[in-house]
Amino acid sequence: MYRLPLFDEPRIDVLIAAMRAHPLGLLVRNGPEGLTADLVPFLVEDDAGSRRLLAHVARANPLWREVAPDEPVLVVFQGPEHYVSPSWYATKAATGKVVPTWNYVVVEAHGRLTVHDEAEWIGRQIRALTRSQEGSRAAPWVVDDAPAEFVAQQVRAIVGIEIRLDRLLGKWKVSQNRNTADRAGVAAGLDAEGSDEAAAMAALVAATLEHGDGS
């Protein structure tokens, strides 16, 4: 991933938080027929310096049969993103020398993939993943709300995957390359869009006004 130093996000805790906030990752690997990409919801574990991504895929998905032991893979997690109109820049009125761009947050997770086809491992993974998404709800659904035989049937239809992470890279392109007035205009313009995605990006741009950069 191409990263200007200005847009580089090296803080591991920030990258982990972004992956947990946007857990649907794009798993990319080089299969027998070339590059493949699968969208997979991941559980991110960060314990005592050991970082792993845990997930499951359909048994019908050829990925788990084709993967070599400890095969290197890439998972891409995308955070907030939004188009940036040049009309939001104060510089437009001053010089007119502005062009559109796109702001975005992305994390690259590099690691090695292992397959797990044990019902116990898969059961733990689906329960942990469910807790991560349901835990904050007023009446959270849990796996054991479903009939035991039905759950066992579902477990038999999936296969677990584990990715031991070697490297994390982050890119936060949130208008750090613009002057203060331009960034304030971008934050205001995004807020006026009225969507959740625009609001999330507006908050990231506004943070650069507080800290002087994209941190």
- CA 4, CA 171: separation in Å to the nearest integer? 9
Structural domain contains residue 196: no
Q: What is the mean pLDDT of the chain?
A: 95
Structural domain contains residue 199: no
Residue 131 tokens, joined? 């807790």
CA–CA distance from 61 to each of 64, 75, 86 (Å)? 7, 17, 44
Residue 100: closest CA among 115, 113, 112, 89: 89
116-174 pLDDT, tens digit per residue, is 999 999 999 999 999 999 999 999 999 999 999 999 999 999 999 999 999 999 999 99
Structural domain contains residue 154: yes
Structural domain contains residue 211: no
Residue 188's pLDDT is 98
Q: Please list, in sequence order, all residues whose beta carbon lies within 8 angstroms of the beta carbon of residue 85, skipping any fewer than 6 positions away.
A: 100, 189
pLDDT band at 212 (very low <50, low <70, confident <90, very high): low
Structural domain contains residue 140: yes
Structural domain contains residue 54: yes
Is residue 215 pLDDT above 50, yes or no?
Answer: no
- What CATH number has the domain bearing residue 170? 2.30.110.10
- CA 175, CA 171: separation in Å to the nearest integer? 12
pLDDT band at 214 (very low <50, low <70, confident <90, very high): very low
Q: What is the mean pLDDT of residues 192-212?
A: 93
| Total number of domains in the chain | 1
Structural domain contains residue 92: no
pTM, full prediction: 0.93
Q: What is the mean pLDDT of residues 55-74?
A: 94
1-30 pLDDT, tens digit per residue, is 999 999 999 999 999 999 999 999 999 999
Q: What is the mean pLDDT of residues 182-196?
A: 97
Structural domain contains residue 62: yes
**Domain extent for 165:** 5-81+103-175
